[in-house]
Chains A and B, each alone.
Chain A
Amino acid sequence: MLVEVLRLAAQVILRNPMRSFLTVLGIVIGVAAVIAMLTVGKGSTQQVKSDVAKLGNNLLILRPGQGGGPGATAGSAPSLSARDVAAITEQVPSVEIAAPLSSSSMTVVYGNQNHHTTITGTDNRYLQAADWQIAEGRDFYDGELRAGSAVCIIGATVRSQLFGAADPIGATIRFKQVACKVIGLLAAKGASSFGSDQDELVLMPLKAFQRRIAGNQNISTIFISIRDGASTDTAKADIERLMRERRHIGPGEDDDFSVFDLKQIASMLTGISTVLTGLLSAVAAVSLLVGGIGIMNIMLVSVTERTREIGIRLAIGATEGQVLVQFLVEAVVLSLAGGLIGIVVGLALGLTGARVLHVPISPDPLVVLMAFGFSAAVGVVFGYFPARRAARLDPIEALRHQ
């Protein structure tokens, strides 16, 4: 009997394929939205989480100026100096490494290849603190750092843009009148949780950067790693106290520098992506509701159109329950078909989105199953009323219906 009912439902639905498709469009959109959202959302949440884990030892970033995240400008606040780096290293016991950074973005040229990237002046401490591995070549020699030699270590993206598959070690790249010898290649890290490509960088000795590019002794960022087991919050407070002292900020005055905890930012981003996923899922739920109402509407039309058919079925001995089941199954098959199309479309969208946003792809079978369950539920809930109306028809009046 159920096979029969399913066959009949499929027959009725396929008899008018265009109308059936339009009927389930709401469900298709709703389910596709949920699946796409959760695929991308979950992927990006996972990305952030694995980034947080990858950050390893706790990291702090010290910048001049107030507010903003990484990338905010210093404004009018006085810059940092090498003496600040030394003071932090020496006076805050929980600090393991403090590395100076100074950056500028510009076009790098090799042969006839151009590439716009970020040039950062720093030293080997940064490689250590940020856990950069050298894939090929070497890090900076002390002599090169002291002399400010024109040598550089490039990130994987810069390498592929300028050199393709060729060996970059020993080659000379140019930026802003500086001819710089490539001595090392960094192992790729991929996209960061902030969405930027971490391998998009060129490192050179801080001194070389200050003299040849910036033309000053400024340091724009101090990158700090905290000893294992030490509290990041305590370290942050210690550094803030030290910096207030060094920068002569009186009690009650606002800091003119900021210390960011990378882990905090990362977990905040996780929170944001969770909230976004929740919001978008709510939107999707509304469209499922609208889809359900669409199905109910068409099922009611269908019951009216098929009143005579229902009368015939009742006359030859169909019970109320059998007619109810027939129409309910029809609604459920419709909404499940919509759900299936939605799952396929949603996965396709999600996977495309994940690729565009550089987040790992993670189609969740549970989500797919839930989407399936939800579309079935929409069919049952919104199909019930029309089905009951069909089942309760008076056989004589139904037979008389034109």
Chain B
Amino acid sequence: MTGGAEPLIALAGVGKSYGSGEAEVQALADISLAIRAGEFVAIMGPSGSGKSTAMNILGCLDVPSRGSYRYAGVEVGDLDRDQRALLRRNCLGFVFQGYNLLPRTTALENVELPLVYRGVPRAERRRLAFEALARVGLEGRVDHDPSELSGGQQQRVAIARAIVGQPDVILADEPTGNLDSARSHEIMQLMSTLNRDAGITVLMVTHEPDMAAYAGRLVHFLDGRIAADGSGAPHAG
């Protein structure tokens, strides 16, 4: 972390506990992490080590029990529910393991959705959504429902939805968890293109070292703590 400008994302002593008293589970224990704009970070670690918990906090979907999370200099803990929603809307894009597309809704409409909440006019929205789908190579599938798309295609629609609002950060929790190896590599190539060409910061949880290899930095979680944090393996492909 070479000094100067404040990192885009800064966790300081962040902890998260579920339950209370005897039944208290500490999912995260005093994590400190700084991520600069433009990084591609892979998070690895055994099941239950707190990766998703950390991602939810980073994505402003959840709030830490302790510690400070500053996003672009803003203390997220001071934001209310709607302000966090606006932060997600304007700065963050999500890609989930289970795609999380709206059923019975076409690819184009799914990708349009974030823009609907931004109040972008319909025609403009269509154009941007179409562009985003073209970037993930799905211009031929815009009118298909998720049920008519393969897993890899659905995940690409989800990525189009994540990038349509030109976010600063993409948060992807096991984006290739449900895909075969070839499809996974396609998704990862897409991610690194977005990171490299569009300058989008990418945070990705994965169990597969192959996929983590696309990242420039590897953070290892163990029992709710960061066990290792360093540059990732050089890109394989």
CB distance from B61 to the nearest CB of A (A): 5
Bound CA–CA A319/B81 (angstroms): 8
B118 touches A319 (CB 8 A): no
Q: Which of A85-93, A230-238, A287-295, A310-318 contacts its partner?
A: A310-318
Partner of B104, one of A15, A316, A321: A15
Whether A320 lies near B114 (C-beta < 8 A) is no
Query: In chain B between 99 and 131, which residues have their CB closer than 8 angstroms to a CB of chain A?
Result: 100-104, 113-114, 116-119, 122
Question: A386 interface residue, CB < 8 Å from B?
Answer: no
CA distance A202 to B95 in the complex (A): 90
The winner among A314, A322, A395 for most chain B CB atoms within 10 A is A395
A-contacting residues, B73-109, CB 8 Å: 81-82, 85-86, 88-90, 94, 96, 100-104
Would A318 and B100 count as touching, CB distance under 8 A?
Answer: no
When the two chains form their complex, are residues B62 and A318 in contact, meaning their CB atoms are under 8 A apart? no
Please tell me which one of the listed residues B56, B86, B116 contacts residue A319 in the complex, with CB atoms under 8 A apart: B86
Q: Please, which residue of chain B has its CB at the minimum distance from the CB of A317?
A: B89
A254 within 8 A of B: no
Check B85–A399 contact: CB distance below 8 A: no
**In the bound complex, CA of A4 to CA of B82 (Å):** 20
Interfacial chain A residues near B88, Cβ < 8 Å? 315-317
Contacts of B96 in A (CB 8 A): 399
B51 interface hit (Cβ, 8 Å): no
Q: Is B161 an interface residue (CB 8 A)?
A: yes
Which of A4, A312, A317 makes the CB contact (< 8 A) with B100? A312
Assess whether B94 is in contact with A320, with CB atoms less than 8 Å apart: no
* A309 within 8 Å of B (CB atoms): yes
Are the C-beta atoms of A396 and B85 separated by less than 8 Å? no
Whether the Cβ atoms of B85 and A1 lie closer than 8 Å is no
The complex places the Cα of A315 from the Cα of B102 at a distance, in Å, of 12
Report if A399-B100 is in contact (Cβ < 8 Å); known contacts: A314-B85, A316-B94.
yes
* Interfacial residues of chain A within 86-143, with CB under 8 A of chain B in the complex: none
Q: How large is the interface on A (under 10, 10 to 19, 20 to 34, 35 or more residues)?
A: 20 to 34
**Which B residue sits closest to A392, measured CB to CB?**
B81
Number of A-B contacts (CB under 8 A): 57
Q: How far is the CA of A401 from the CA of B118 in the complex (A)?
A: 26
Query: Max chain A CB contacts within 10 Å: which of B61, B89, B104, B161?
Result: B61
**Chain A residues, Cβ within 8 Å of B101:** 312
Given contacts A309-B102, A316-B89, A395-B61, contact A322 B117 (CB under 8 A): yes
Q: Which residues of the partner chain B approach A313 to less than 8 Å between Cβ atoms?
A: 113, 117
Query: Roughly how many angstroms separate A318 CA and B96 CA in the complex, as a whole number?
Result: 17
> In whole angstroms, what is the CA distance A317 to B116 when docked?
10
Is chain B's binding surface mostly helix, strand, loop or mixed? helix
**What are the residues of chain A within 8 A of B85 when measuring CB–CB?**
314, 317-320
**Which of chain B's residues have a CB closer than 8 A to the CB of A311?**
100
Residues 200-254 of A contacting B (Cβ, < 8 Å):
none
Give the CA-CA distance A139 to B56 in the complex, in Å: 98
Instruction: Specify which chain B residues have a CB less than 8 angstroms from the CB of A314 in the assembled complex.
Output: 61, 85
| B44: min CB distance to chain A, Å | 21
- How many angstroms between the C-alpha atoms of A399 and B102 in the bound complex? 12
Q: Which of A312, A313, A315, A395 has the most CB of B within 10 A?
A: A315
Contact between chains at A315 and B94 (CB < 8 Å): yes
Judge whether A320 and B116 touch: CB under 8 Å: no
Question: How far is the CB of A8 from the nearest CB of chain B, in Å?
Answer: 9
Residues of B near any A CB (own CB < 8 A): 56, 59, 61-62, 81-82, 85-86, 88-90, 94, 96, 100-104, 113-114, 116-119, 122, 161, 165
| CB-based contact A1/B116 at 8 Å | yes
A211 to B85 CA separation, bound complex (whole angstroms) = 98
Complex interface: chain B residues within 8 A of A317 (CB): 85-86, 88-90, 114, 117-118, 165
Shortest beta-carbon distance from A348 to chain B in Å: 35
30 contacts between A and B (CB under 8 A): A1-B119, A4-B116, A4-B122, A15-B104, A308-B100, A309-B103, A311-B100, A312-B113, A313-B113, A313-B117, A314-B85, A315-B88, A316-B117, A316-B161, A317-B85, A317-B86, A317-B88, A317-B90, A317-B114, A317-B117, A317-B165, A318-B89, A319-B82, A319-B85, A319-B117, A320-B82, A320-B85, A395-B61, A396-B56, A399-B61
CA distance A176 to B189 in the complex (A): 107
Return the chain B residue nearest A316 by Cβ: B114
Give the complex CA separation of A322 and B86 in angstroms.
12
Is there an interface contact between B56 and A312, defined as CB atoms closer than 8 Å?
Answer: no
Q: Give bound CA distance, A56 to B85, whole Å.
A: 73
Within 8 A of B (CB), among A310-342: 311-322
- Which residues on the B side are within 8 Å of A309 (C-beta)? 102-103
By a CB distance below 8 angstroms, the chain A residues around B122 are 4
Contact of B102 among A312, A322, A396 (CB under 8 A): A312
Sample of 14 more A-B contacts, CB < 8 Å, known A309-B103, A317-B114: A311-B100, A312-B102, A315-B59, A316-B89, A316-B94, A316-B113, A316-B161, A317-B86, A317-B88, A317-B118, A318-B117, A319-B85, A319-B117, A399-B96
What is the distance, in angstroms, from B128's C-beta to the closest C-beta of chain A?
A: 14
Collect the chain B residues with CB atoms within 8 Å of residue A396's CB: 56, 61-62
Q: How far is the CA of A319 from the CA of B119 in the complex (A)?
A: 12
* Chain B residue at smallest Cβ distance from A399: B100
A313 and B88 CA atoms in complex are apart in Å by: 11
Q: How far is the CB of B19 from chain A (nearest CB, A)?
A: 15
